[in-house]
Structure 1
Amino acid sequence: MTTVETLHHDGSFQAYVAEPAGTPKAAIVVIQEIFGVNPGIRAKCDEWAAQGYLAIAPDLFWRLRPGIELDPDVEAQFQEALGLFGQFDQDKGIEDIEATIRFAREKSGGLKVGCTGYCLGGRLAFMTATRTDIDASVGYYGVGIDGLLGEKHAISRPVMLHVPTADHFVDADAQKRMHDGLDDHPKVTIHDYQGLDHGFATQMGNRRHEEGAQLADGRTAAFFAENLA
Structure 2
Amino acid sequence: MTETVSIPTLSGDAQFSAYVARPAGGAKAAIIVIQEIFGVNPGIRQKCDKLAAEGYLAVAPDLFWRLEPGVELDPDVEQEFERALDLMGKFDQDQGIRDIEATIHHIRRDMGITKVGCVGYCLGGRLAYMTAARTDIDASVGYYGVGIDGLLREKHAIAHPLMLHIPTEDGFVDKDTQAAMHEGLDDHPKVTLHDYEGLDHGFATEVGKRRNEQAAQLADRRTSAFFAANLS
Q: Please state which band the TM-score falls in when normalised by the shorter chain.
A: over 0.9
Q: Deviations over 1:15-71 (max 9, x none)?
A: 000000010000000000000000000000000000000000000000000001000
Contact preservation (8 Å) 1:166, 1:197: yes
Residue 116, structure 1, aligned to residue 119, structure 2: yes
Q: What's the CA shift for 1:136?
A: 0.2
Q: Distance in 2 between matches of 1:196 and 1:143?
A: 15
The number of residue pairs the alignment matches comes to 229
Normalized against structure 1, the TM-score is what? 0.99
Which one-letter code corresponds to 2:171 in the other structure?
H
Q: Distance in 1 between matches of 2:202 and 2:186?
A: 23
Q: In the alignment, which residue of structure 2 is the partner of 1:46?
A: 49
Residue 152, structure 1, aligned to residue 140, structure 2: no
Q: In the alignment, which residue of structure 2 is the partner of 1:70?
A: 73
Q: Distance in 1 between matches of 2:122 and 2:132?
A: 16
Q: Deviations over 1:82-119 (max 9, x none)?
A: 00000000011000000111112234423200000000
Alignment of 1:107-186 (within 5 A): 107-186=110-189
Structure 2 residue runs of 5 or longer lacking an equivalent are: none
Contact preservation (8 Å) 2:33, 2:47: yes
Which one-letter code corresponds to 1:207 in the other structure?
R
Normalized against structure 2, the TM-score is what? 0.98
Q: Distance in 1 between matches of 2:108 and 2:20?
A: 13
Structure 1 residue runs of 5 or longer lacking an equivalent are: none
Alignment of 1:188-199 (within 5 A): 188-199=191-202
Determine helix, strand or coil for the equivalent of 1:60.
Answer: coil
Residue 79, structure 1, aligned to residue 82, structure 2: yes
Contact preservation (8 Å) 2:30, 2:113: no
